[in-house]
Amino acid sequence: MLLRVNPEHPQPGRIGKVVEVLKRGGVVIYPTDTTYGIGCDLYDKRAIDRVYRIKEAEPNKPFTFILDSLEELSLYAVGVSNYAYRIMRKLTPGPYTFVLKASKAVPRFMRSKRRTVGIRVPDDPIPLAIVKELGRPLVNTSVSPPLDEFLSDPAEIEGRYGKLVDVVVDGGVRYSDLSTVVDLTGEEPVVLRPGKGPVDML
C-alpha cells in the first residue's frame, strides 16, 4: 500500500495508520533525510527477520535504529561520554549514525559483536513522527537492492517492494545518500563511513 504523507507536516491520521501496522508486526518503508529506509518495531524479532529477508542482508550485520530525539538515549546506550553527547547534540537531528555501546534494553540480535549499536535522529519529520507515535525506536536500513542501487522515487519503490512490505510511505522523491557513521565509543570520534553529513567540525 502506498500512503502519501505530507513531508513537512505529516498528517497525524496517516502517521497513526503507519503505527497501527507497526504495532501489528508490520514492515514499512519510509523516507529519511538520507535514503528511503525499511524497518519495523525494534522489539519485534519476527518483523526484523522479515526486514533481513527483504533486504537480503547478512544476518550477522545489525541494523541501526531511529530515535525521535536524544531524550531517551540513556535507555539504549551506556557509557556515553560528555564529549560524545555534545557532538550528538550539535549534529542531531541530521544525516548521521552514531555508534555507541548498547544498553541491555537493546535486543541482543540488534547489537554488534562489540555490543555496540547504531543510533540515528534524522532531520525528517516523517520518521520522527512515526517513532514518537509508536513510542519505541524504529529499525532502520536503507532501501538498496543488490549492487547498492538506491531507490529515491516512492512509486518505483512501491513497484519493487509493494508486495513484500505492508506500507510504503510516500514522502516524495528524495535525493539518496548514505548517512555519515561516527563511532563515539572511544576517547575521540572516529568516522567509519563518510556520507551526507559533513565531518569537518569533528
d(C-alpha 190, C-alpha 107), whole Å: 25
- pLDDT given at position 123: 97
135 CB burial (10 A radius; 0-12, 13-18, 19+): exposed
Q: Give me the half-sphere count of Cα atoms (radius 13 Å) on the Cβ side of residue 152.
A: 8
Every domain of the chain and the residues it spans: 2-193
- pLDDT given at position 181: 96
25 CB burial (10 A radius; 0-12, 13-18, 19+): middle
- pLDDT given at position 90: 95
- pLDDT given at position 92: 96
Q: Could you tell me how far CA 187 lies from the centroid of its own chain?
A: 25
Angle between helices 12-23 and 125-134 (to 10 degrees): 60
- pLDDT given at position 53: 92
Question: CB–CB of 37/29 below 8 Å?
Answer: yes
- Pick out the chain residues at pLDDT < 50: none
**Domain 2-193 of CATH type 3.90.870.10:** yes
3-state helix, strand, coil in the chain (%, to 5): 30, 20, 50
127 closest CA partner among 41, 68, 198, 202? 68
